[in-house]
């Protein structure tokens, strides 16, 4: 199946996602921060990246990482799925959804709110990896 890189600082989330994904035949690598993440993405060359937005060191880390990925010619075509609780954890008067996806603001292929049902996550991954 697919090589999937999860970038999320919450071990409970990464453990759960890893269990779900590996039990469905995927190979999973976990990174818990965005330090040197572009180098690691290039080394792993995953088929898909699951990315959180809010990290302890920077509440906008995921946005920055998504833009860096999108602008890198070697890895810019790897589909990125944002999986985040940003709408629940932030104090903003607005929320994020798939309608916010754009090449400038949120250059990713999909956005899912945490917590997510495993079947919903697997369906979204299937659609991203094998469209049509």
Q: Which domains does the chain have, with CATH numbers?
A: 3-129 (3.40.50.2300)
Q: What is the pLDDT of residue 59?
A: 84
Q: What is the pLDDT of residue 74?
A: 95
Can you read off the two tokens belonging to residue 55?
């990290």
pLDDT band at 20 (very low <50, low <70, confident <90, very high): very high
Is 26 strand, coil or helix? coil
Which string of b and e fits 94-104 if b means at least 16 CB within 10 Å?
A: eebeeeebeee
In angstroms, the CA 53 to CA 59 distance is 7
| pLDDT (tens digit per residue) in 48-59 | 999 998 898 888
| pLDDT (tens digit per residue) in 80-124 | 999 988 655 444 444 555 555 666 667 899 989 889 999 999 999
């Amino acid at each position: 199946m697919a090589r999937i890189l999860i970038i999320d600082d919450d071990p409970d989330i990464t453990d759960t996602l890893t269990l779900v994904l590996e039990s469905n035949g995927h190979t999973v690598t976990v990174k818990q921060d965005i330090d040197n993440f572009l180098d690691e993405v290039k080394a792993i060359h995953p088929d898909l990246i699951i990315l959180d937005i809010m990290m302890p060191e920077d509440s906008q880390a995921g946005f920055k990482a998504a833009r860096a990925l999108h602008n890198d010619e070697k890895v810019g075509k790897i589909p990125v799925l944002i999986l985040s609780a940003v709408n629940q954890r932030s104090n903003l008067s607005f929320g994020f959804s798939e309608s916010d996806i754009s090449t400038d603001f949120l250059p990713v292929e999909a956005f899912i709110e945490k917590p997510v049902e495993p079947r919903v996550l697997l369906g979204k991954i299937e659609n991203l990896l094998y469209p049509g």
